[in-house]
Amino acid sequence: MANPLVAFTLIKRLQSEWLNLIYSDEAQENTQAFRSGYEEVEKEGSLPKLEDLQGAAKGLMRLQDVYALQVGGLVRGHFQRITDGKPIDIYSPTVSVPLSGDDCFLVGKVAYELEDYYHSVQWLEESVRLFRGAGGEWSPENEGTLEDALDHLAFSHFKVCLFCT
């Protein structure tokens, strides 16, 4: 897969979103058939595991560091860095995939759990912006909420001591 954002969103969809949807209260009809089908595919080992999703999130953060990519650009599906105060595309994939607030929350949460508060602040700020832009609507496949993102963001800000005097 040429686009790391497509890879990340596909792994996320197959790992956490599908799992959250199958086991949600909203999936009342055909729930048993969905669950048994999911569990059968899961036993085969053909679905990504949580470690795969966390690895994809770490990979996005590595790309961000190596190529000085802007999180805001990545969220819109663009691989950009700032040069002379202007965003410059350094890679233009044939398919541009924007990230959701939940996607950003997951990357920020992985950074948070690694105690990488530099990255967690950037990704969680984008998550909060996107969750707020969605009007606070929650979807059953989402792992995080605006409240979760704000909670993790507050502690991340504390840890990087942005509010120290």
pLDDT in tens, 74-116: 999 999 999 999 999 999 888 889 999 999 999 999 999 999 9
Phi, psi (deg, nearest 5) at residue 100: -90, 170
For position 88, what pLDDT does the model report?
92
Nearest to 88 by CA among 73, 66, 103, 110: 73
d(CA 8, CA 2): 11
For position 38, what pLDDT does the model report?
74
d(CA 92, CA 6): 13
For position 136, what pLDDT does the model report?
63
For position 69, what pLDDT does the model report?
96
For position 67, what pLDDT does the model report?
95
Show me where the domains of the chain are located. 4-160
d(CA 163, CA 158): 7
The C-alpha R_g of the chain, in whole angstroms, comes to 17
> Is the CB of residue 128 less than 8 Å from the CB of residue 154?
no
Phi, psi (deg, nearest 5) at residue 33: -65, -40
pTM for this model (two decimals): 0.80
Phi, psi (deg, nearest 5) at residue 93: -70, 155
Nearest to 90 by CA among 114, 64, 109: 64
For position 141, what pLDDT does the model report?
74
With residue 159 as reference, give the H or E element that holds it. helix 146-160
- Pick out the chain residues at pLDDT < 70: 1, 21-22, 24-31, 34, 136, 138, 140, 162-165
Q: Which CATH architecture has domain 4-160?
A: Alpha Horseshoe (1.25)
For position 26, what pLDDT does the model report?
63
For position 45, what pLDDT does the model report?
80
For position 29, what pLDDT does the model report?
62
Nearest to 19 by CA among 41, 45, 38: 38
d(CA 34, CA 27): 9
